[in-house]
Structure formats: C-alpha cells, structure tokens
Amino acid sequence: MLFQQFLDDELGCAAYLVGDEDAGVAAVVDPPYALEPVFAAAERRGVRIVRTLETHTHADHLSGHGRLALENGVPISIHPAADPEYPYDPLEDGGELELGRVVLRALHTPGHRPEHTCLAVADHFRSEEPWLVLTGDSLLVGDAGRPDLAVDARKGAEGLFHSLKRLLELPDGVEVFPGHVAGSLCGTGLSSKASSTIGFERRFNRALQIQDELQFVAEAASVGVPKPPNTSRLVELNRGPFVGAPRDVVELQAYEHGTTVLDVRRVEDFLAGHAPGSISVPLASGSFATKAAFVLDPSDRIVIGASSTEEAARAIRALRAVGFLELTGYVLGGGAERMAAVTLDELEVLLETGADLIDVRERDERDGGYIAGSRNIPYRLLALGGVDVDVPEGRPIVTICETGARAGIAASLLAGRGLDARPVLDGGVSSWSARGGRTVEFRRCGS
C-alpha cells in the first residue's frame, strides 16, 4: 500500500496520495493547488494518478483538482450534494474505489458541508477491515470541523454531531488522518499532530466528549473564529469550471500607479522603508496567507514587495493557495516611506500624553483583558473602507495585539489612510499586564 500525507504548514491543510505500488495506480485526496510535490512523489513511487477524490468543496484553500483534470486527464469523484459545475463521478455513501488491492469506501458525513464524505481505506494485503480513515474536515485531531461555512451553523452542527457518531463506530485501532491540523481556521482546539486513532480521539477529543446533541449544537454553532472574506469566492472557484495552472508572475522595476502593494518583508525592513500605502503582512509571520486574505481585495491589481526572488515566489505560492491568482508582479526592495514602532516603555508615555490606542485583536481575545482606555477594532476590519477611525488632528495612533504581528498589519492599513500610526511590536496586552500595566476585564451583565 502506498500512503503519503502532504501538509501545507501555512494553511494547516492536508492532502493524501493513496494507492497500490504493485498495481502502479494511485488517487489524490483533497489535492493542493501546488501539485508539484504530489507529482514528484507519484513519479518516485512509480504510480500513475488515476483519480481525484474530494471530501468536500473547500472554503479555505484552492483545490488542485482542476489542474489534475486539465493537465493529466484525471477524473474527479465527489458527493453529488456538492453540485459541482465540472464533470465528475458521484461519490455516494458506501461507494468504493479500487486501486489494486487498496480500497477506499465512502462514508457520507455531512455537517461541515452537506456533501462532506470521509474515506475508509482498507489494504486487502493486510485485512478486509479498514486500516485508516481520511476524515476531511469532520473529525480532526483534538476537535471537530466548523459547521458554519456552507449552511446555517446550527443546522450544520446537527449534521456534524451525527456524522461524528458514525465515525466512532469504527474500531479504536483505525488511524485518523484529517484534512486539517493546527494553523487552520477550521477548528480552534486542533493539535499539531498530523494523525491520531479513533480510540485516542474517542477518549481525548473535546468535541467527542459532548454526548448531548443540544449541548454539542450550542457549542459548535458559536464559532468565534471569523471567516476570511474570500471563503465564498474559494467555494465558487472550487465548485466551478476547472482552474488550470497559474501564469508566471514577473519582476517589475518599480511599483505601478493604481496597484495595491503587499509588502511581505520582515516588519523591521518595512519600518525602515516601504512604498507609500503598502500593506505589511510579513511572510515570516504565522498564517501569512490567511492574514493577507483578510486585508486584500482579489479584484485589485496586487503587487508583491519582497526582499528576494525566493521570498516573492513563496508569497506568490501562498497567495495562490487562497485564490489570489491574478497577481500583477513583484518588486524587490522597499521605498522612501518610513514608520516608527513603539516599545511598551514608550507606550506608557504616549498614553499619558493622549495617544489613541487601538486593540486590534478579536473581540473574544479582548474580553479576557484589555488596556484601560483602548478601543477595539480587529485588524481585519480596518481593511474595510466603512470602518471609521476618527482621531483628533496631531494625535498619534498606537496599535497593539498579543505579539505584534497584527499590530503591524493594522498600522500599515491606517498609515495608508494618511494617519500617524505606530505599532507595538515588542509584545502585546499580556506583556503589558505582566510588567504591571493596568488592564480591565470585560464583564457582561449578570456575571
């Protein structure tokens, strides 16, 4: 049996190559858009890719099924509830795909999306019983998938509750390989482990400890993690006509008028000099593509600002994975615009002299404790033109988060509006509190 997992550490996504080396055939499950590592693995193992299987229509990354179909003529199987606009073979509940002596059996597990389907994999060289199960975005390691990406959150949670119960009918020894690991938006309690077993998850997965359906629905439907604004677009790309290989993105000698500049260099380099109006989302920061998707408009002409060709290529690859396909080009180096950062020591002085402090964390983070006098505007909302940031003339704006990463993005967005914005980069609210700074805990009525 051939079985290989491909992890995208940036997005926390997993794809799989499954097949029979003796028979020389394999299938790709939930293929990434950047297919080159999958092609290389198939060539190295001497197998031909004969089928693409999608556990569901993805809302957080672009699938590579279109490239497999257009470049290699590989047919696609997906549950008909996905209602795809491309040619496909229906992957109904109980249906099987034979790859030599390796068999993949479909388990329809709606909830995350109506079409969601898990795949129980049996190696008949070893046993007729399943050896492992590819759980997509239903059962994850340490958590369960989100129920709010395709349908009403409560309706999705109801379906997910029963789907998880169905997966627990599998023997404890069956290995679990999910579609997402830590770093994904599809769960808040995900482990960094790339696999588990049914027995381990039965005992330790927090979502599986809830036996009452109403309680499960109430908790699963109250998703605190925001959805990037490009989720609907990604769903349409993934269920629509095939998306083929991307065109080359060329180096430009200078930034062009009318473009949106995404500066992916280290934040220190951005502060030292950048193009006016640039948005700073460092490639080195965690969840680069997800953060970029929150602040970019895919209809804009986007130019990458990078330190090297290699850095530009990595950023372009990451942006394509979340559906930004029409990139205008990239420019190496910065510009004449500068920005000052604020240390926590300097913040104390600035607050005493009337600086405006904006806490750019999400609301649930702020509720756990915030600096007195600050106001809360999550960084992702600052990218929206309708969010008003009214600051008296001559008063600087200081942005703060937990580590500095989002504060830097927020400051660049505010500076693009012509405001005097300065990020706190050497820590955040927790650091402020740890050094004795005053914080306030949000209390709801009746608590």
What are the tokens at 103? Answer: 């068999």
Q: Please give the share of the chain, as a percent, with pLDDT higher than 90.
A: 75
Average pLDDT over the chain, rounded to whole?
Answer: 91
User: Do 344-440 and 2-238 have the same topology in CATH?
Assistant: no
What pLDDT, on the 0 to 100 scale, is given for residue 447?
42
Q: Which residue has the tokens 């109506």?
A: 114
Burial class (CB in 10 A: 0-12, 13-18, 19+), 406: buried
Domain range 246-332, CATH architecture: 3-Layer(aba) Sandwich (3.40)
| Run of H or E including 89 | strand 89-90
CATH 3.40.250.10 fits 344-440, yes or no: yes
Task: Encode pLDDT of 354-368 as tens digits.
Answer: 889 999 999 888 988
Task: Encode pLDDT of 233-277 as tens digits.
Answer: 999 999 999 999 999 999 999 998 899 999 999 999 999 999 999
What pLDDT, on the 0 to 100 scale, is given for residue 268?
94
What are the tokens at 293? Answer: 């998707």
pLDDT interval class at 114 (50, 70, 90)? very high
Q: How far apart are alpha carbons 342 and 348 in whole angstroms? A: 10
Q: Residue 330 — φ and ψ, nearest 5°?
A: -140, 155
What pLDDT, on the 0 to 100 scale, is given for residue 227?
75
What are the tokens at 204? Answer: 């330790």
Q: Helical H runs in 21-167?
A: 36-45, 65-72, 153-167
Q: Is the pTM value of this prediction over 0.75?
A: yes
Task: Encode pLDDT of 140-180 as tens digits.
Answer: 999 999 888 767 788 889 999 999 999 999 999 999 999 99
3-state secondary structure 199-253: HHHHHHCHHHHCCCHHHHHHHHHCCCCCCCCCHHHHHHHHHCCCCCCCCCCCECC
Stretch 71-97: mean pLDDT: 97
- Domain borders along the chain are 2-238, 246-332, 344-440
pLDDT interval class at 443 (50, 70, 90)? low
Q: 287-297 in b/e burial notation, b at 16+ Cβ within 10 A? A: bbbbbbbbbbe
Q: CATH says 2-238 is which class?
A: alpha beta
Mapped onto helix, strand or coil, the DSSP state of residue 153 is helix
Least confident stretch, 57-66, 107-116, 176-185, 263-272? 176-185
pLDDT interval class at 226 (50, 70, 90)? confident
Q: 253-272 in b/e burial notation, b at 16+ Cβ within 10 A? A: eebeeebbbbbbbbbebbbe
